[in-house]
Structure 1
Amino acid sequence: MDDNELYPIGDVARRTGLSVSAIRFYADAGIVAPAARTGARYRLYDVQAIARLEFVRTLRELGASLEDIRQLLAGETTLRDLAAAHLALVERQALRLRARRAVLRTIVKQHTPAEQVSLMHKLVSMSDDDRDRLIDEFWYEISDGLDVHPAFVDRLRSMRPNLPAEPTTEQLEAWIELADLVQDDAFRHSVREYLHDTYSTAQGRLMTTPPVPDSIEKGATIMRDAQAAYQAGLPADSPQAQDIARRYVASLVELTGRQDTTEFRRQVAANLLVAKDLHRQALQRRAAHIAARFTDTHGRYLSLVATINGATREDNVSVPVPYEWMATALNAPGCRSEPSTGLHP
């Protein structure tokens, strides 16, 4: 294009993708004036005017108003400020669209009755305070009368959803399901019944008394480290494996009050092999009535909370416990009772 040449409005329309009427409108609105006129009807545009028209078209497609564009071209605002304002608007619209998509996908998946649609839309539109209040009400009812140490009740109540400011559709769908479940009388009853039956026995109450839950969680963390090491192919007699084994024994010593001796470690190793056999037998029996009860009650709650809080599918994949690998590490000659140094990452 020649910087000095003037182009009729038809050529400008073809170059910019705007209609002739739109170009005339922008001229009459004082947005982009023609470089010259020939008579009352004919307008001519130079290269600079064509570039401004293309810019105006882009801004309009991005949602800018005529007043926004007029202020920008007049130097009353900056492109950066205009973009920032419209970015915030687009992000709010994106959040609303994700919420709508979550509701619609849930309706399609669950064949939702018409009377529940407004409820689902309300659930995804809840504030943080509203969500906290809903979960608080659920746990107050579920834990009422639960004969366990108060710290364990606090631990149960702390396992709650934290929907991020910009949730994914999967997280919104999980929140819709969870919010619906915690308000359902049948689900509340089943979770309450499961927890009361599980922890109402003497052994169950013992499992809720500090420091037992902390020690169990510590042991679970160590076992996850063992799973990762086993999956990575580390030999059971490697220094890293023996360090994990020593940490596991230390957690059991803390839990049971026993002395860390060679005999104790051998007993732990033997118990791991027994646990392996029991686990295999349980899988063979499937223990469906036990597993299903947890999965349908407290387990379902925890699974949905994990999804809402951003746990990946890989986080939820069950990795086999390396019982035999741990037992071999405990029986290795280098597995001393005192921890070695320099082995932790």
Structure 2
Amino acid sequence: MNGATLPHSIGDLSVRTGVPVRTIRFYSDTGLLPPAHRTPAGYRRYGDASVGRLHLICVLRDLDVDLPTIRRVLDDGLSVAEVAAAQREATALRIRTLRLRQSVLRLVAERGSSPEETVLMHRLTHLTAEERKRLVADFVAGLAPGTSQARGAAVLGTALPVLPDDPSDAQLAAWVEIAELMADDGFRTRLAHGAFAAADETALPRVDSGKAAGLVSFTREAVAAARGAGIEPDSAEAAPVVDAVVARFAEVLGRPAGPGLREWMAREFEAGHDPVVERYWRLVWTVNDWQVVDGHLPFQPWLIQALGRP
């Protein structure tokens, strides 16, 4: 077939496909869409097969496939299905990156972060999985071995925060807060001594261990049941729960179930609870997407509020 019989000029190809002439010329010059013939005057002429080839090139470019890969497809060195599979993974990665960027921007806006905080937050959220793992491991390893902190380290090691590859906004915010806590040496000490809930027999140190174990166990179960029923500590429905707990304490300790006992109970349970440590564990649950179980929550804050303390 000579140039005279080839049906498409470069202008005609542009009209039929909607691709600008300069783009077609570029594809032709790079060898992706070579003309079937050139006229004596140097004009390009294309056959019908060029229409389909150009459509394929444009579709692949629209899917962000690079030119060398497109050349391999056109030369039958790579199938469209293989390209699609690879491009799908690359696109998923870009989407995760954009979501992470969006979450960081939202977090910075919500917290009103300073320039320094923004830089730190960006660094913390862009750590690799291995870098995050090492940061947490170094924090736990910093707890002094051979001391009471060693037990805290052992408990921490069983429930480490692991940020997923595609975190939600809540998970990302929780991870940033955990990392900030880990940078505080004072928090390390607090967490070492409060990494686990006190055993029932030690939660009331000034009470005989045999009596304390039963009292604390009864209290934990009562508060967990109230939480499970959706009872708020400052509501009228909380009164019977607190009355039952106070009555049990009065019976076991041989004390009047009056304001004095209530004040003593609130003071004792307040001393045995660290709200910052509780916050840490709630953040870990959020990062790991773990279900919050009422029985695993510290009972002290609910009971203290229900006893009438702020």
The TM-score by the shorter chain falls in which range?
0.5 to 0.7
- Could you say which residue in structure 1 is the equivalent of 2:82? 81
CA distance in 1, matches of 2:200, 2:129: 37
Tell me the amino acid that sits aligned with residue 300 of structure 1.
R
CA distance in 2, matches of 1:90, 1:65: 13
* Paired residues for 1:1-345 under 5 Å: 6-140=7-141, 147=148, 150=151, 154-188=154-188, 190-191=190-191, 199=198, 203-204=202-203, 275=241, 277-278=243-244, 296-311=275-290, 315-316=291-292
CA distance in 2, matches of 1:141, 1:202: 29
Contact 2:156/2:195, CA 8 A, preserved across alignment: no
Contact 2:143/2:150, CA 8 A, preserved across alignment: no
Tell me the amino acid that sits aligned with residue 162 of structure 2.
N
CA distance in 1, matches of 2:73, 2:121: 41
Give the count of matched residue pairs. Answer: 251
SS in 1 for 2:202: helix
* 298 and 133 in structure 1: CA distance in 2 versus 1, 3 angstrom threshold: same
Higher relative contact order (CA 8 A, sep 6+): 1
CA distance in 1, matches of 2:7, 2:132: 62
Q: CA deviation at 1:290?
A: 7.1
* 133 and 65 in structure 1: CA distance in 2 versus 1, 3 angstrom threshold: closer
* 148 and 10 in structure 1: CA distance in 2 versus 1, 3 angstrom threshold: closer
* 35 and 182 in structure 1: CA distance in 2 versus 1, 3 angstrom threshold: same
CA distance in 2, matches of 1:61, 1:138: 46
Tell me the amino acid that sits aligned with residue 305 of structure 1.
V
Unaligned runs of 5+ in 1: 207-211, 232-272, 320-345
CA-based RMSD of the aligned residues comes to 4.5
Contact 2:13/2:51, CA 8 A, preserved across alignment: yes
Contact 1:32/1:53, CA 8 A, preserved across alignment: yes
Q: CA deviation at 1:182?
A: 1.6
TM-score using structure 2 length: 0.62
SS in 2 for 1:297: helix
Tell me the amino acid that sits aligned with residue 284 of structure 2.
V
Contact 1:120/1:176, CA 8 A, preserved across alignment: yes
Q: CA deviation at 1:305?
A: 1.5
Tell me the amino acid that sits aligned with residue 106 of structure 1.
L
Contact 1:147/1:199, CA 8 A, preserved across alignment: no
TM-score using structure 1 length: 0.57
* 52 and 174 in structure 1: CA distance in 2 versus 1, 3 angstrom threshold: farther
Unaligned runs of 5+ in 2: 206-212, 231-238, 248-262, 296-310
Q: CA deviation at 1:22?
A: 0.4
Q: CA deviation at 1:23?
A: 0.4
- Could you say which residue in structure 1 is the equivalent of 2:250? none
CA distance in 1, matches of 2:144, 2:185: 14
Q: CA deviation at 1:127?
A: 3.3
Q: CA deviation at 1:154?
A: 2.4
Q: CA deviation at 1:21?
A: 0.3
Tell me the amino acid that sits aligned with residue 74 of structure 2.
L
SS in 2 for 1:102: helix
